[in-house]
Amino acid sequence: MTHLKVINPNTALAMTASIGRCARAVACPSTVVTAVSPSMGPESIESHYDEALAVPGVLAEIAAGEREGVDGYVIACFGDPGLDAARELAAGPVVGIAEAAMHAATLLGRGFSVVTTLSRTVGRAWDLAHRYGFAAACRGVHACDIPVLDLEDPAARKTVTELCVAAVERDGSDAVVLGCAGMADFAAEVSEETGVPVIDGVTAATKLVESLVTLGLRTGKRGEYALPRPKRYSGLLRDFTI
Ligand code: 5HY
C-alpha cells in the first residue's frame, strides 16, 4: 500500500475535496490518497504575498505526513509554493503540479501553452518554466482573469475552454497545461474542444509521485535537500523548530 498526501496550500475545503477526487480517480487501487488543506493560510493563492503565506501551512502538513509515514507528496497549487523546503523536510518524493504538468506536456509535443487564472500570476508561471528548464517549450502563458475561487462557476469552464482553443491557435502549441488546481476536472472537456492533450497538474503529479514511490525512488539527501540543520524559530513560527 502506498500512501500519498495531496496538499492544497489554500484553505478552500471545497477545492481540496475536488482535488482529492481527481487524484483518487487516477491513483492505483493500492494507493491511498489523503487530500488536505493546512489549518492556516490564504483561502486562495493569487499573488506572491498569498504564496509566501501559504508556505508555513504546506510545511506543517509535510511534517505531519512524516509522522504519519506518508510515502510521497503533491503540492497542489500551480505556483508550487514551498517545493524546495518541502523536499528538505520529506524523506519521500515531493512534486508540484506546475512541475509535473510541464514535464508531461514536453513528453507529448514540442511546445505547450499554459492557461492560468489572474494576469498577475503569468510572471510566476514563466519563472517556473525557466526554473524547470521548459522555457523553450513553453510557447505562451495566458490568463483567463477569473479568480481561483470563481472557477467553480460553470461559466468559468466555458471561458477557460475558449481561451485554451485560442491559445493553441495563437501559439501553435501541441498541448495545453492548466494553470490552477481549481481546473483539475476541466481537462477532458478542454481536450475535446482544443483537439490537443490537456494536462492537469493534480493528476499528472499524483501519477508521477506514485511512480517514483513504486520505483523506490526518494529525494536525494546528500546535499541541497538534506534535512535542515536544527535551530530555533521564534514567534508565530516557534512550532517549526526542527
Ligand atoms: C492554484 N492558486 O493552483 C493557484 C492558481 C494560481 O489557490 N491554487 C491557488 O492562480 O496561481
> pTM of the full predicted structure?
0.97
Which protein residue's CA is at the shortest distance from atom 2 of ligand 1? Answer: 45
Among the atoms of ligand 1, which is closest to the Cα of residue 79? 11
Helix or strand run (H / E) with residue 113? strand 112-116
Give pLDDT, residue 168: 98
Give pLDDT, residue 189: 95
Q: What percent of the chain has pLDDT over 70?
A: 100
Q: Taking all residues of the chain, what is their mean pLDDT, rounded to a whole number?
A: 97
Query: Which distant-in-sequence residues (6+ apart) come within 8 Å of 104 by Cβ?
Result: 199, 204, 208
Among the atoms of ligand 1, which is closest to the Cα of residue 54? 7
What is the 105 CA–ligand 1 centroid distance (Å)?
Answer: 19
Helix or strand run (H / E) with residue 184? none
Give pLDDT, residue 242: 82
Mean of pLDDT values over 185-210: 97
Among the atoms of ligand 1, which is closest to the Cα of residue 77? 3
Which protein residue's CA is at the shortest distance from atom 1 of ligand 1? Answer: 77
Mean of pLDDT values over 166-192: 98
pLDDT, one tens digit per residue, over 227-242 is: 999 999 999 999 998 8
Question: Residues with Cβ within 6 A of ligand 1?
Answer: 10, 44-46, 77-79, 116-118, 121, 148, 180-182
> Hunting for cell 499554459 — which residue is that?
114
What is the 24 CA–ligand 1 centroid distance (Å)?
Answer: 20
What is the 169 CA–ligand 1 centroid distance (Å)?
Answer: 25
Give pLDDT, residue 222: 97
Q: Identify which of 6, 7, 8, 10 to mutate to test ligand 1's pocket (most ligand atoms within 8 A of the CB).
A: 10
> What's the grid cell of residue 25?
480517480
Which protein residue's CA is at the shortest distance from atom 5 of ligand 1? Answer: 180
What is the 232 CA–ligand 1 centroid distance (Å)?
Answer: 31
> For residue 153, what are the CA distances in angstroms to 60, 142, 156, 183?
31, 19, 5, 11
Are residues 45 and 79 in contact, defined by beta-carbon separation less than 8 angstroms? Answer: yes
Question: Whole-angstrom distance between the N-terminal and C-terminal Cα of the chain?
Answer: 29
Which protein residue's CA is at the shortest distance from atom 8 of ligand 1? Answer: 77
Give pLDDT, residue 102: 98
